[in-house]
Amino acid sequence: MKEYKMLIGGEWVSAKSGQTRDVTDPASGELLAKVPEANADDAKLAIAAARKAFDEGPWRSTPALERGKLLFKVSKAIMDNFDKFVEMEVRDCGKPRREAEFDVGDAANCFEYYGGLATKIHGQTMNTPDGSVSLIVREPIGVCGQIVPWNYPLLMSTWKLAPALAAGNCVILKPSELTPMSALELGQIFMDAGFPPGVVNIITGPGAGAGEELATNPKVDKVAFTGGTVTGKKVMQNATNNIKNVTLELGGKNPVIVFDDCNFDSAVDWTLFAAFANQGEVCSAGSRLLVQKSIHRKFVDELVKRVPRIKLGHGLNEGVVMGPLVSAAHRDKVESYIKIGIDEGAKLLCGGKRPEGKEFEKGNFVEPTIFDDVKPSMRIAREEIFGPVLSVIPFETEEEAIALANDSEYGLAAGVFTSNITRGHRVIGKIRAGITWINNYHPTYNEMPWGGYKQSGIGRELGLFGIEAYLETKQINIWLDDNPVGWY
Ligand code: TXE
Residue 119 and residue 129: Cα distance in Å, rounded? 31
Q: Determine the distance separating the centroid of ligand 1 and the alpha carbon of 177, expressed in angstroms.
A: 10
Length of the chain (residues): 488
Q: From the CB of 151, is ligand 1 less than 6 Å away?
A: yes
Q: Determine the distance separating the centroid of ligand 1 and the alpha carbon of 131, expressed in angstroms.
A: 51
Burial of 422 (0-12, 13-18, 19+ CB in 10 A): exposed
Alpha-carbon distances, residue 105 vs 180, 187, 443 (angstroms): 19, 18, 13
* Residue 198, beta-bridge partner list: none
- Model confidence at 378: pLDDT above 90: yes
Q: From the CB of 386, is ligand 1 less than 6 Å away?
A: yes
Which residue has the least CA distance to atom 14 on ligand 1?
212
- Read off the pLDDT band of 262 (50, 70, 90): very high
Q: Determine the distance separating the centroid of ligand 1 and the alpha carbon of 336, expressed in angstroms.
A: 18
Residue 422 and residue 419: Cα distance in Å, rounded? 9
Q: Determine the distance separating the centroid of ligand 1 and the alpha carbon of 341, expressed in angstroms.
A: 23
Other C-beta atoms lying within 10 Å of the C-beta of residue 458: 17
Which residue has the least CA distance to atom 43 on ligand 1?
207
Please name the residues in contact with 458: beta carbons below 8 A apart, sequence gap of 6 or more. Answer: 236, 246, 247, 248, 451
Q: Determine the distance separating the centroid of ligand 1 and the alpha carbon of 206, expressed in angstroms.
A: 10
For 43, how many CA atoms within 13 A lie in the half-sphere containing its CB? 28
Share of the chain above pLDDT 90, in %: 98
- Read off the pLDDT band of 251 (50, 70, 90): very high
How much is the pLDDT for 264? 98
How much is the pLDDT for 57? 87
Q: What is the mean pLDDT of residues 424-439?
A: 98
Alpha-carbon distances, residue 127 vs 14, 475, 482 (angstroms): 54, 12, 19
Residue 364 and residue 354: Cα distance in Å, rounded? 8
CA geometry: angle at 232 spanning 24 and 460, to 5°? 100
Note if 262 is an active site residue.
Answer: no
Predicted confidence (pLDDT) per residue in 144-189, tens digit: 999 999 999 999 999 999 999 999 999 999 999 999 999 999 999 9
Q: State the catalytic residue, choosing from 93, 110, 170, 283.
A: 283
Calculated CA dihedral for residues 463, 465, 469, 470, nearest 10 degrees: 50
- Read off the pLDDT band of 205 (50, 70, 90): very high
Q: State the catalytic residue, choosing from 249, 281, 367, 461.
A: 249
Predicted confidence (pLDDT) per residue in 296-353, tens digit: 999 999 999 999 999 999 999 999 999 999 999 999 999 999 999 999 999 999 999 9
Calculated CA dihedral for residues 203, 209, 215, 218, nearest 10 degrees: -100
* Residue 284, beta-bridge partner list: none
Report pTM: 0.97
Alpha-carbon distances, residue 97 vs 8, 89, 139 (angstroms): 31, 8, 39
Percent helix, strand, coil in the chain (nearest 5)? Answer: 40, 20, 35
SS3 318: coil
- Model confidence at 131: pLDDT above 90: no
Q: Determine the distance separating the centroid of ligand 1 and the alpha carbon of 359, expressed in angstroms.
A: 29
The torsion angles phi and psi of 16, rounded to 5 degrees, stand at -55, -35
Residue 83 and residue 67: Cα distance in Å, rounded? 26
How much is the pLDDT for 153? 98
- Best mutation site among 231, 235, 281, 335 for ligand 1 pocket (most ligand atoms within 8 Å of CB): 231
Q: What is the mean pLDDT of residues 47-61?
A: 95
Q: What is the mean pLDDT of residues 57-78?
A: 96
Q: From the CB of 461, is ligand 1 less than 6 Å away?
A: no
Residue 462 and residue 466: Cα distance in Å, rounded? 4
- Mean pLDDT, the chain, rounded, equals 98
Q: From the CB of 160, is ligand 1 less than 6 Å away?
A: no
Q: From the CB of 250, is ligand 1 less than 6 Å away?
A: yes
CA geometry: angle at 41 spanning 40 and 46, to 5°? 95
Q: What is the mean pLDDT of residues 359-375?
A: 98
The torsion angles phi and psi of 303, rounded to 5 degrees, stand at -60, -50
Residue 149 and residue 213: Cα distance in Å, rounded? 16
For residues 95 and 388, the answer to whether their CB atoms sit within 8 Å is no
Which residue has the least CA distance to atom 18 on ligand 1?
207
Predicted confidence (pLDDT) per residue in 379-430, tens digit: 999 999 999 999 999 999 999 999 999 999 999 999 999 999 999 999 999 9
Which residue has the least CA distance to atom 20 on ligand 1?
211
Greatest C-alpha distance within the chain? 89
- Model confidence at 60: pLDDT above 90: no
- Read off the pLDDT band of 273 (50, 70, 90): very high
Note if 302 is an active site residue.
Answer: no
For residues 143 and 47, the answer to whether their CB atoms sit within 8 Å is yes
